[in-house]
């Protein structure tokens, strides 16, 4: 089993992660093992492309079927076999962390009056862009436009339709030093990279196993933990860091004015 120091060396530095984020790339951020112990893909909302949005809720794709006719005109015999997914697999739930000020300016109230979420994630009402080019709101192009509009300084209340297919999340004012969640991490990275304070996040889940000819995914369908996130980051060239390291970095560059609350 690797030591704590060996594990720490597998993560990217916050400085390198900020640089990648500033360059418009995805990053993976993990929270602590005593919280959710999960990794989220995070990217800045202001510049997300349709191609990047399509990467988030990517559907599994099977490799070519093992099917060979035994003789001319004979029916194809399909051998059912387990296979791993060949493309990235994420939860498919796309959220957009924003600051409280932005939520107020765009009239995005909380989704419920009494939040029963164990981590008190502050979901607002869902939105789609009200641009004439938007159709159902669910396509990668539509969702990317909604997120870019959310980050635009020109956005107004009527820039959005309600309900929609993007879920804004209201971050705590103190960022990860007030609440050590992915919502706050996304907004903090936006600020550190000099971008509009609106991000796009999706939780990473394990691949599971497909059996060709059966419409289900078996095996490990749980959340992607530390080792899985590190492998995923290496496979796709994505920087991977932790919220704990982000807190340390912020305390170093900004001082320790805000308290960390690891319980929420």
Residue 167 lies in a domain: yes
Residues 29 and 195: their CA atoms lie apart, in Å, by 18
Residue 1 lies in a domain: no
Residue 75 lies in a domain: no
Task: Look at residue 215 in the predicted model and tell me its pLDDT.
Answer: 84
Task: Look at residue 70 in the predicted model and tell me its pLDDT.
Answer: 44
Task: Look at residue 65 in the predicted model and tell me its pLDDT.
Answer: 42
Structure letter (DSSP) for residue 134 = -
Residues 190 and 237: their CA atoms lie apart, in Å, by 20
Task: Look at residue 58 in the predicted model and tell me its pLDDT.
Answer: 59
Residue 91 lies in a domain: yes
Print the domain residue range for 149: 31-62+81-254
Residues 59 and 234: their CA atoms lie apart, in Å, by 20
Residue 15 lies in a domain: no
Task: Look at residue 85 in the predicted model and tell me its pLDDT.
Answer: 47
Residue 224 lies in a domain: yes
Using alpha carbons, select from 40, 24, 37 the residue that is nearest to residue 186. 40
Number of domains making up the chain: 1
Residue 113 lies in a domain: yes
Successive 10-residue mean pLDDT values, the chain, 264 residues: 56 98 98 78 98 77 43 49 49 90 98 94 98 97 99 99 98 98 98 98 85 81 89 96 97 73 36
Residues marked as catalytic: 36, 40, 95, 123, 128, 165, 182, 203
- What are residue 250's phi and psi, to 5 degrees? -65, -40
CATH code at position 44: 3.90.870.10
Residue 158 lies in a domain: yes
């Amino acid at each position: 089993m690797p030591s704590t120091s060996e594990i720490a060396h597998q993560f990217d530095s916050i400085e390198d992660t900020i640089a990648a984020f500033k360059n418009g790339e995805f990053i993976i951020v993990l929270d602590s093992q005593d919280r959710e112990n999960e990794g989220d893909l995070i990217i800045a909302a202001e510049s997300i492309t349709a191609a990047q949005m399509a990467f988030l809720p990517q559907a599994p794709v099977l490799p070519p079927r093992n099917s060979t006719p035994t003789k001319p005109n004979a029916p194809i015999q399909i051998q059912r076999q387990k296979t791993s997914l060949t493309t990235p697999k994420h939860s498919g739930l796309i959220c957009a962390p924003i600051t409280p000020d932005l939520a107020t300016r765009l009239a995005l109230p909380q989704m419920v009056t009494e939040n029963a979420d164990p981590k008190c994630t502050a979901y607002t009402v869902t939105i789609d862009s009200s641009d004439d080019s938007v159709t159902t709101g669910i396509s990668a192009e539509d969702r990317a436009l909604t997120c870019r509009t959310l980050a635009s300084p020109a956005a107004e209340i009527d820039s959005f339709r309600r309900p929609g297919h993007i879920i804004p999340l209201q971050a705590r004012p103190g960022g990860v030093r007030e609440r050590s969640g992915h919502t706050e991490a996304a907004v903090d990275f936006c600020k550190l990279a000099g971008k509009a304070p609106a991000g796009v996040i999706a939780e990473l889940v394990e691949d599971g196993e497909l059996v060709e000819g059966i419409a289900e995914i078996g095996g490990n369908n749980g959340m992607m933990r530390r080792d899985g996130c590190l492998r995923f980051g290496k496979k796709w060239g994505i920087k991977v860091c932790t919220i704990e390291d982000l807190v340390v970095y912020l305390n170093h560059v900004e001082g320790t004015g805000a308290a960390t609350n690891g319980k929420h």
